[in-house]
Structures are given as structure tokens and as C-alpha cells.
Amino acid sequence: MNTRAFTLALIISVFAMFMVYTYIEDRENVLVEKYGKPVTVVVAKVDIKELELIDDSKVTVKSVPQTFAAPGHFKKVKDLEDGMIATVPILKAEQITKPRVSFPGFKTGLARTVSSGKRAIAITITEKQSVSKLLKPGDRVDILAAVDYSAGRKDMQKVMTILQDVLILSTGMNMTNSIPLIGIKTPKVIRKMNLSTYSQYNTVTMELDPYQVQKLVFLVTFVGIPPYLSLRNSSDNKVVRIKSTRIFDLLGEDATEAKAFFSEKFSKKR
């Protein structure tokens, strides 16, 4: 083996590699100077429809020159908060930017916040019915109704809890994920974002299954007595059996006297 020739070939190959590396590095420096350093951006992994929920399965990250990064881009997938939806259609490989995503709100509609198999239904309420209007989206309530099917007979009237653990989707036009500003000192830049506030509302929208929707519509249409909403602790999802309340339950020890009175009163009319 010719050691001298091998050494010369090795020196030439190393020199050639050095020249190639220098050329590539020089071209990279030119490109970096022209287009900026590489940055990571979040892009769509698949086509995303308008108002479609964005999750990890639909996005990924890739590196692009800084000049090609769109204004308002996201650098990491985790920067996209849970529950965000696309406000416009986003094609595969397009960058996900802040103006293209949002939380569900009155501008994007309520449908995306309704669980599969459930329905949204709104009722008119007053302060007395809605815990002084201190209810907010995301709260859970029970619905109570006064029932009088006896044409005014006091001994037959009752109050019943007809639905329990009902999710409130919105109060007026304020929806889950809206940011309340009432009573909170916030910078002008935040107030200019036109965020929703929890101020005044006359309706509450709730999430129910289809049969419960029918019961509620029957109640507000034919019973004629507005229902009451009773606020629950947000971590209390227990549904319990609650018997109806009648006048005898209020009278306690005097219930026997009242029962005798009503029995005599209505037996005479027969």
C-alpha cells in the first residue's frame, strides 16, 4: 500500500470537505441575513374547517425562516389553549395564527359548546328566579317549579325539583370562556379587545337532553308559573331523589289540623 498516496488523497478529501462546508455555511449565512434565523411555527396537519375544534391531532410544528413566519403565529402546540376553534377554514400546512383562532363566543355561535346528544334551550328569567343574576356560564343549577293542577286547591299545590345538575351555557349573550370585566381594573389595551362582560341579561341558556327540553318547554308554556334556578357547587354533580313540597310540609305539627280543615271543606262541596 502506498502510504504517501493515501495520505495525499486523505488531505485532498479533507480539504474538499472543508471547502464544501465553508460554501454551505456561507450560503446559510447569506440566507439567514436575507430571510432571518429559523423559527418554529405551528401549522395545520390536516385541513381544518371553519368553527372546527383545534386539538393536537390537527396541528404540528415546523421550522421556517423568520421572514416567512406569519404575524401572530404560535411557536408551540401547547400555546394553543384547550377549547380554541378555527374562525376561518385553514388548509393543510398553513400556519395557525392568532387572528384565525378564537374561543367560542356570540360571534362564533353556541353550537360548538353544546355536548353531543344534548340541546341548548333558553328561558326568560328575573333576578328573583336566577340567584340575583349572579349566575354565569359554566355554573350548574337545579330547576324548581310550582305546580298547581287542581284549579287553586291549596292542599294540592306543590313545588317540585324537576331537573338537577343542569349546565348553564350562557347568560344573555355571554358564553363559556368569555372574560368578565365587571369590577376588574384592566388596562386599556385589554378593553379595546371588545371582550364580553357579565352585566345585564334577561335569558339563561342551558344544556339539556331532548326529553328534558320538552319538559322545560311544557313548564314555561302551560304551567304559567316561572321556574326558579337553584345554584349548585361547581364540583357537586350528585343527583338525589327529592320529594315535592306541599303546604303540609310547611305547617309541620299543625299539618293534621290543616288536613282536617281541607277534608271538611271539600267534602261539603260534594
Q: What's the pLDDT tens digit per position in 136-176?
A: 888 999 999 998 887 778 888 899 999 999 999 889 888 75
* CA 125 – CA 202 distance, rounded (Å): 6
H or E stretch including 211? helix 210-218
pTM over 0.85: no
49 Cβ partners below 8 Å, 6+ apart?
86, 89
pLDDT averaged over every residue in the chain: 82
* CA 172 – CA 8 distance, rounded (Å): 84
22 Cβ partners below 8 Å, 6+ apart?
none
User: How much is the average pLDDT of 234-247?
Assistant: 92
pLDDT at 219: 93
pLDDT at 103: 74
Closest of 141, 138, 117, 115 to residue 130, by C-alpha: 141
Is the torsion defined by CA of 252, 142, 154, 150 positive or negative? negative
How many other C-beta atoms can be found within 10 angstroms of the C-beta atom of residue 252?
Answer: 7
Per-residue pLDDT for 119 more than 80?
yes
pLDDT at 232: 95
Q: Which domains does the chain have, with CATH numbers?
A: 32-102 (3.90.1210.10), 111-264 (no CATH)
How many other C-beta atoms can be found within 10 angstroms of the C-beta atom of residue 164?
Answer: 19
Per-residue pLDDT for 188 more than 70?
no
* CA 58 – CA 43 distance, rounded (Å): 9
